[in-house]
Chain A
Amino acid sequence: MTRTYTPWFLLAVALALAAIYLFPLYWMYITSLKGGSEMFANPPTFWPRDPNPGVYGEVWARRTMPVYLWNSVLIASGVTAITVVLGTGCAYVLARYRNVWVDVGLFCVLMLQVLPASVMVTPLFVGFNQVGLLNYPRTAVVLAAAAKAMPFFVVLVRATFMSVPRELEEAALVDGNSRVGAFFSIVLPLARNGILVCAILTFMSAFGEYIYSKSIIQSPSLQPASVGLSGFLGPNSSDWSSIMAYSAIYVTPILAAFVILQRRIVSGLTSGALK
């Protein structure tokens, strides 16, 4: 708001702030490339003297990362599918009307989101045990995590639907479309971008799902990458270059996707969803 600074000065400050903020990510990649003695050098080196990219291949094989990552992809896809299919319709109805029932519905949806996962995990565990779902632990985790992700999705997509002009839908109804027809041929295409952005975000957060998988899935061959990582973490962990290499392999795809889609995600959120 003050106009005494030049834009270029502000740009420099912004880059410095971003560098400070993103330092942990830089440190993850750098640490993963350091060898044994350099790892614990004091003072630490901010650029590896002798980069050792071999650790990536070693961690990939030794920690059976392909299995873990595949499970993460499966779980995240399942969560996203359920959330999008059930959540989109719900968001649409909650956006279309404003009355007491919508307030009640919205309140329910929000209340059900605010339960911490650590609270829900015991009853879900017992419930899944009763209906035999524990024999299909990944499916169980998908269901549990979808229930966790859906409220946030509904809130965001509801805002997207609110920005779709109602007149267009009414015109379609006057032209003889049914409600179903108008929904699929007019409203959904107009809200497509917002839904897509929210679906991507849902996928990204489900990709890091941890507590349900940790509590419900026993067999290592069905666990996602987050549980695989927790296997060699803890207050006394020491194999830091492997941990960082594992982390890097785990998050680089999400980070790359995010950076590529960044503009669309941010503009999708700021133009509609977070108003």
Chain B
Amino acid sequence: MLKALSSLRDGVGFDILLVGAALVFLMALAGAPLIYNVLMSFQQVDMFTLGSLIRPFAGFDNYVAVVQQPEFWLVTRNTLIFVFGSMAGQFVLGFALALFFAQKFPGSATIRGLFLVSWVMPGLVVGAIWSWILAGDFGVLNVILRALGIIDANIFWKSDPAFSIWAVIIANIWLGLAFNMLLLSVGLAAIPRDLYEAAELDGANAFQRFWTITLPMMRSTIGAVLSLGLIGTLQQFDLFPALTEGGPANTSNVAGYWSWQLSFQLYDFAKGATVSVMMFLLVLFASVVYVRSTRHEVRG
């Protein structure tokens, strides 16, 4: 007993206590829900059995039922468009901005920092602002696009089935762009300057330097940014209630929001859980990539 106590003050016990407290907390509030969700996706659930653990076993019935829902393929397609559209936009624009702000000029760090305000904005507020900017009749984006001669007639971003998912993507790119830029800036700053100087002496042009030095040197950063981007995009929820509520006719619905709708609007908890388990498999893949990318990190 005394030994255990002193190990708590002085030995491995101290480490175990520190890690253990956090892990127990996380297991209870994040691990258990995950297991419960998986369990529920294989059971028959209704309002009355919601609170009990033991319920009739349903096998893969819920999965079959979810796939047979008329909107299943539409939601799957939207989820893929949303994830890849958002990630591509956030990454390409974030990388471009990171490269731009890596140049030396007065105020570069301060102005780059201002971009990060989008990162601390509540998602719901971002959704509200973009909802007004994207409004079909009075939205300022249509006015600007018309003035620039890009479009002839107003686009009804939120209510036109062809554009509704893009309305959410635009808002999501704005929301996540700054974080991508910050991570990529940090990766850029870690590349030794003399590599570029040597390449320049050897006559490499800007594009060749980018292709042969910047990209390979940033491989692990890019891996981390992309996997965090995938996770973050799949988690995005707040923009949907603020912008389109998944509509019109599910043309902007994605798996995360659909799962919540099934559970909390239709009270079909088993199907909601099933959709979320399907989604989780995708996320699992992303986190394996992320953990692999941290394996090569350097100790400072």
Contact = CB atoms under 8 A, between A and B. Distances in A.
A18 B111 contact: yes
Contacts of B253: none
Interface of B: 9-11, 14-15, 17-19, 21-23, 25-27, 29-34, 36-37, 40, 50-51, 97, 100-101, 103-118, 120-133, 137-138, 140, 143, 147, 158-159, 174, 177, 182-183, 185-186, 189-190, 196, 206, 209, 231, 234-235, 237-238, 241-245, 247-248, 256-257, 259-260, 263-264, 269, 272-273, 276, 279-280, 283-284, 286-287, 290-291, 294, 297-300
A54 interface: no
A73 interface: no
Contact of B131 (A113, A118, A237): A237
Given A108-B23, A237-B131, A211 B237 contact: yes
A27 B237 contact: no
Interface of B is mostly: helix
A11 B105 contact: yes
B121 to A, nearest CB: 6
A112 to B, nearest CB: 4
B228 to A, nearest CB: 9
Given A7-B105, A233-B128, A247-B129, A120 B256 contact: no
A33 interface: no
Contacts of B248: 235
A274 B116 contact: no
Contact of A211 (B36, B133, B196, B238): B238
Q: Which 4 A-B pairs have the closest CB atoms?
A: A208-B122, A89-B18, A90-B22, A123-B33
Given A25-B117, A120-B30, A122-B37, A274 B186 contact: yes
Contact of B129 (A118, A210, A244): A244
Given A10-B105, A262-B116, A272 B300 contact: yes
B159 to A, nearest CB: 7
B210 to A, nearest CB: 8
B280 to A, nearest CB: 7
B120 A143 contact: no
Contacts of A255: 117, 120-121
A179 B14 contact: yes
B116 A266 contact: yes
Contacts of A204: 120
Interface of A: 1-2, 5, 7-8, 10-11, 13-15, 17-18, 21-22, 24-25, 27-28, 31, 39-40, 42-44, 82, 86-87, 89-90, 92-94, 96-97, 103, 105-124, 126-127, 129-130, 143-144, 146-148, 150-151, 154, 162-163, 178-180, 183, 201, 204-205, 207-208, 210-211, 214-215, 226, 229-230, 233-235, 237, 240, 243-244, 247, 250-251, 254-255, 258-259, 262-263, 265-266, 269-270, 272, 274-275
Given A24-B133, A27-B133, A110 B19 contact: no
B22 A86 contact: yes
A112 B300 contact: no
Given A178-B10, A229-B124, A266-B116, A110 B291 contact: yes
8 contacts: A7-B105, A10-B105, A143-B29, A180-B14, A183-B14, A210-B238, A255-B120, A275-B297
Contacts of A107: 287, 291
Contact of B26 (A7, A44, A119, A150): A150
Contacts of A211: 237-238, 260
Contacts of B284: 111, 114
B276 A116 contact: yes
A114 B182 contact: no
A143 B30 CA distance: 10
B31 to A, nearest CB: 6
B140 A258 contact: no
B29 A44 contact: no
A183 B13 CA distance: 14
B260 A251 contact: no
A15 B106 CA distance: 11
Nearest to B277: A119
Given A90-B19, A147-B29, A266 B112 contact: yes
B272 A122 contact: yes
Contacts of A28: 129
Residue among B19, B30, B121, B283 facing the most chain A CB atoms (10 A cut-off): B30
A126 B31 CA distance: 14
Contact of B182 (A96, A113, A118, A269): A269
B37 to A, nearest CB: 6
Contacts of B133: 24, 27
Contacts of B37: 119-120, 122-123
B145 to A, nearest CB: 12
Given A114-B286, A116-B235, A208-B125, A92 B18 contact: yes
Given A112-B26, A116-B283, A270-B189, A94 B106 contact: no
Contacts of B182: 266, 269-270, 274
A251 B125 CA distance: 8
B206 A1 contact: yes
Contacts of B138: 39-40, 42, 44
A210 B244 contact: no
